[in-house]
């Protein structure tokens, strides 16, 4: 653990609890609801829950909060497990479900009824909302609030046995309808849902509410510190009320911290699901999505996400972090470990008129300019090449140091070439450059001291690998898309551009992230089944082109 981590307020509490002897072991839990895919906001919680336990030799449970069967599925369960593992964390044998405790939760609900602090209410959902009051006006008691213990036990048993329709009755806690905390105004404990459960099957037709199940599940598992985001701060009195009423053997402590909010993203599962359902994106793992699955598919390294969370820090203060901060972490990791390769995204044909027709040379190229341990590779060089279209300008400004009519440029790891002729199609588009090369200027030979100001990358045309390259950018063009009345109005129209690229031969079978020199970091798309061409996703550009706009939008 480093000094920065030691200073955050949650770690301070935990280390004080260990030092005082309050706890011999730290036990935490990460409790996602399997109703969608995990996103960037969950990364903070995962790293915190698993991190503080690991630092102290403690344990962490991965508990699936599956109390709402209408929105949950095995697909989401598997995605959650895959994401947590990919981030580098292991729950070992501590995978649990809220549904594992349904029997105990049911018995605890009976205890609450027997104590006279829970009752079966027969108001409709709309009536319950009306009776609840507002932030400035107290609620009023349900006419069913004073049912006898015997009547409540009978009704609750019949709810369990499936006698009633959905919504016909609900079990509520009897607390205080005039409480200034809306969560304490007789909250629901159980509701009727005749829906099969993804883990429990058809056994149940009543399901516990989150606020009821969560704290008791913490107690059953011996959780010492229940770490939640700040929106649960107002729920803490209810969390403690259930523990006070039921006095479990173990009592956890809830502590809240600020959410990780990232500019240019939304993290509402409901809104993300809408984007998926409407076909705005190509699934939960679309590389433009802020989901962990989407970031993994895009090529973000897990260590970059962990570093991003570390730099963001754990605080009580709400904050919005620049997307550029996350992308910087990605660049920092990939800059050290990604090998360099050459690719041409928008090809322009170059013919070296004085190069032998059938000759092929192999140019030695460094795999990583900053680390000789990465070794070298051989690049085929021939009479016909591909270069980037924007590395040539027919009418170039004075300080344009790439290729132009009569101008010279060095081909990286190759020769100096001069543009002698420009070939155009009938529409006036440049389709080919006829150039000559200087055979005395091969890189690394030391046979010529001639120098030019520009160096560009290239790919040998006969040896090129065809590929579809997907240029991903931010899904939204507003820093706070959640504030928009309609998120469709702030979608970035160029969040995805697909180009047909030409790659050097070594990229035919690469299976990890690489840097396309001068262009950015890219990785193979591991979900694409295209048979006729490789597919690469752009992970991140080499430089942050949004930095100035983002700082202005966030007032930095």
Say whether 337 is catalytic. no
The number of CA neighbours under 13 Å toward the Cβ of 323 is 28
State which H helix or E strand residue 274 sits in: helix 269-277
**Taking the mean position of all CA atoms in its chain, how far away is CA 115?**
45
Q: What is the dihedral of CA 289, 293, 297, 303, to 10 degrees?
A: 110
Rounded Cα distance between 42 and 517, Å, is 33
Q: Is 135 exposed, middle or buried, given 0-12, 13-18 or 19+ CB atoms closer than 10 A?
A: exposed
The answer to whether the beta carbons of residues 479 and 263 sit under 8 Å apart is: yes
Beta strands in 59-210 (DSSP E): 59-64, 95-97, 118-121, 170-173, 188-192, 206-208
User: Out of 94, 140, 145, 259, which one is annotated catalytic?
Assistant: 259
Catalytic residue among 5, 33, 339, 384: 33
Cβ within 8 Å of residue 135, ≥6 positions away? 182
Nearest to 221 by CA among 341, 70, 64: 64
- How far is Cα 41 from Cα 305, in angstroms, rounded to an integer? 11
Catalytic (active site) residue 384 = no
Question: Is 399 annotated in the active site?
Answer: no
DSSP secondary structure letter of residue 263: T
Q: Which of 269, 306, 461, 538 is the catalytic position?
A: 269
Measured at the CA of 246, the angle between CA 242 and CA 251, to 5 degrees, comes to 75
Catalogue the active-site residues: 33, 259, 269
């Amino acid at each position: 653990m480093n000094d920065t981590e030691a200073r955050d307020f949650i770690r301070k509490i935990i280390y004080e609890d260990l030092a005082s002897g309050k706890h011999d072991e730290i036990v935490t839990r990460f409790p996602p609801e399997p109703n969608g895919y995990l996103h960037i906001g969950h990364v903070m919680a995962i790293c915190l829950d698993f991190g503080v336990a690991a630092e102290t030799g403690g344990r962490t449970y991965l508990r699936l909060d599956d109390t709402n069967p209408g929105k949950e599925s095995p697909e989401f369960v598997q995605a959650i497990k895959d994401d947590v593992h990919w981030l580098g964390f292991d729950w070992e044998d501590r995978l649990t479900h809220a549904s594992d405790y349904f029997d105990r939760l049911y018995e605890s609900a009976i205890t609450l009824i027997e104590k006279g602090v829970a009752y079966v209410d027969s108001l409709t959902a709309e009536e319950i909302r009306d009776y609840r009051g507002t932030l400035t006006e107290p609620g009023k008691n349900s006419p069913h609030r004073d049912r006898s213990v015997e009547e409540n036990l009978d009704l609750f048993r019949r709810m369990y046995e499936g006698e009633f329709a959905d919504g016909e009755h609900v079990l509520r806690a009897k607390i205080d309808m005039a409480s200034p905390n809306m969560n304490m105004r007789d909250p629901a404990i159980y509701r009727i849902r005749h829906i099969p459960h993804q883990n429990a099957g058809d056994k149940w037709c009543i399901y516990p509410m989150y606020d009821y199940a969560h704290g008791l599940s913490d107690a059953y598992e011996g959780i010492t510190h229940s770490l939640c985001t700040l929106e649960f701060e107002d729920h803490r009195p209810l969390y403690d009320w259930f523990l006070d009423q039921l006095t479990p053997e173990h009592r956890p402590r809830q502590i809240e911290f600020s959410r990780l909010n990232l500019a240019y993203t939304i993290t509402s599962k409901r809104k993300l699901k809408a984007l998926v359902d409407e076909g705005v994106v190509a699934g939960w793992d679309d590389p433009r999505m802020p989901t962990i699955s989407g970031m993994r598919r895009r090529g973000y390294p897990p260590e970059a996400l962990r570093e991003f969370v570390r730099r963001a820090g754990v605080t009580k203060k709400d904050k919005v972090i620049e997307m550029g901060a996350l992308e910087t972490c990605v660049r920092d990791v990939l800059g050290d470990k990604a090998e360099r390769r050459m690719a041409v995204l928008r090809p322009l044909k170059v013919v070296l008129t004085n190069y032998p027709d059938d000759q092929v040379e192999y140019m030695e190229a460094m795999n990583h300019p900053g680390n000789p341990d990465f070794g070298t590779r051989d690049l085929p060089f021939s009479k016909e090449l591909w270069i980037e279209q924007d590395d040539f300008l027919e009418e170039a400004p004075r300080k344009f140091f790439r290729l132009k009519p009569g101008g010279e440029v060095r081909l990286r790891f190759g020769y100096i070439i001069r543009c002698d002729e420009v070939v155009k199609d009938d529409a006036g588009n440049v389709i080919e450059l006829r150039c000559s090369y200087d055979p005395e200027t091969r890189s690394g030979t030391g046979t010529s001291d001639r120098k030019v100001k520009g160096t560009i990358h290239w790919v040998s045309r006969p040896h090129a690998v065809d590929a579809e390259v997907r240029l991903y950018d931010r899904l939204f063009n507003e820093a706070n898309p959640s504030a928009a009345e309609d998120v469709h109005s702030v979608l970035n129209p160029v969040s995805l551009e697909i180009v047909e690229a030409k790659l050097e031969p070594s990229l035919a079978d690469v299976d990890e992230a690489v840097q396309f020199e001068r262009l950015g970091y890219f990785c193979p798309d591991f979900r694409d089944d295209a048979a006729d061409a490789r597919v690469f996703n752009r992970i991140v550009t080499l430089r942050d082109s949004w930095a100035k706009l983002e700082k202005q939008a966030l007032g930095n």
